[in-house]
Amino acid sequence: MKGCLAFVHRARPSNKLDGKPMNEPVASRLLAQKARILIVDDDVTTIRLIGQLLVDFPDQRFATTGEGALALARECKPDVILLDANLPSMTGFDVCEVLKNDPELKDVPVIFVTSHDAPALELDALRMGAADYLTKPFVASQLQARVHAQLRKRQRSQGAKATDAASPAHVLALVAGDAAERELLQTLADIGELQFARESEAALNLAFNHRFDLILLDVDTHGTDVLKALSRAQRDVPVIVLGQAFDAEIERRAFDLGASDVIFRPFDAVVFRERVKNALAIQRKTEEEAATLFVSAAQTDRS
């Protein structure tokens, strides 16, 4: 294709990063080995850098234009697309819009990887259907964790009870203090019902006895250990981890333990609300698809 560079690279898998062993769950490593990643950027140096940071993902495809990215996506059906916003001729936003209107590609998670740290652009990307928005520069563990998180979402186990997409969400928020509760009540007023717990034990008791659509966890107060217990109690329910300031290690650990998203303060309220809405939309779509498969299987068994 004229004006397009698109090529395939199979990186050599590695269990090391910067000379140190990767402390990554076996399931994540196996998932990485099978995943097909499409990296789109007009800067070949950036493509090479991202490819090296994702060396544990051996099946990598690259494109330097929006047109080339779309052609390659239709050909290879990637599992995740890393997309730069600033592309020549056809912008990353244009590419994302086309992808989300393509019946065969609309469910492929798109992670914007851009140098623009602007809440308005992030909001546009999320509303357009992007799965995540990552600002350069980033560290290797952050990029890897975000990609792994999107892959796990696509593999979310089936069997959850379907819910009405129009019904208010039931959210469990494990935070500490009146200020944190007021912040969430104001920001998520239109989402649904928020139930608060300030102690880990109280939150786990609620999680084991009630069904929630989403869990919000303040990692600075409660740490990441409670995340594992919450994930067991509310299997397949997305957990968004909240932190006071960016910490790459906390982010990596949270994603490894099954977090759906990790958001650090300060955050834009509108962008935060959109991330919550996206997590709920993905959850409900997954449940609806699971219910459809269950009904189909039951009908097949009876026939």
- In order, the DSSP letters of 267-289 are --HHHHHHHHHHHHHHHHHHHHH
Using alpha carbons, list the distances in angstroms from residue 111 to 96, 261, 272.
Answer: 10, 13, 16
- Average pLDDT across each block of 10 residues of the chain; the chain has 303 residues. List them in order: 48 45 59 91 95 93 96 96 94 97 95 91 94 89 91 61 60 89 90 90 88 91 84 83 90 89 91 92 68 51 56
Q: Are residues 191 and 221 in the same domain?
A: yes
> End of a domain among 103, 123, 154?
154
> End of a domain among 128, 154, 180?
154
Q: Are residues 176 and 279 in the same domain?
A: yes
User: Would residue 253 count as lying in a domain?
Assistant: yes
Task: Provide the pLDDT for residue 160.
Answer: 38
User: Would residue 164 count as lying in a domain?
Assistant: no
Task: Provide the pLDDT for residue 257.
Answer: 87
Nearest CA-CA partner of 17 in 145, 140, 151, 148? 140
Nearest CA-CA partner of 36 in 129, 164, 150? 150
Task: Provide the pLDDT for residue 5.
Answer: 52
Q: Are residues 144 and 222 in the same domain?
A: no
User: Would residue 160 count as lying in a domain?
Assistant: no
| Domain limits for position 52 | 6-12+26-154
SS3 label, residue 112: strand
Q: Are residues 48 and 139 in the same domain?
A: yes
Task: Provide the pLDDT for residue 232.
Answer: 80
How far apart CA 91 and CA 93 sit, in angstroms, is: 5
Q: Are residues 149 and 174 in the same domain?
A: no
How far apart CA 24 and CA 155 sit, in angstroms, is: 17
Q: Are residues 123 and 184 in the same domain?
A: no
CB of 235 closer than 8 Å to CB of 211: no
CATH for 186: 3.40.50.2300
User: Would residue 162 count as lying in a domain?
Assistant: no
Q: Are residues 114 and 173 in the same domain?
A: no
User: Would residue 299 count as lying in a domain?
Assistant: no
User: Would residue 295 count as lying in a domain?
Assistant: no
Q: Are residues 145 and 183 in the same domain?
A: no
Structure-token pair, residue 254: 């949270």
User: Would residue 139 count as lying in a domain?
Assistant: yes
Q: Are residues 134 and 56 in the same domain?
A: yes
Task: Provide the pLDDT for residue 136.
Answer: 86
> Into how many domains does the chain fold?
2
SS3 label, residue 129: coil
245 burial via Cβ count (<10 Å: 0-12, 13-18, 19+): exposed
User: Would residue 31 count as lying in a domain?
Assistant: yes
Q: Are residues 231 and 265 in the same domain?
A: yes
Residues 28-75 pLDDT 10s: 777 788 899 999 999 999 999 999 999 999 999 999 999 999 999 999
Q: Are residues 119 and 37 in the same domain?
A: yes
Task: Provide the pLDDT for residue 13.
Answer: 45
> End of a domain among 127, 154, 181?
154
Q: Are residues 176 and 271 in the same domain?
A: yes
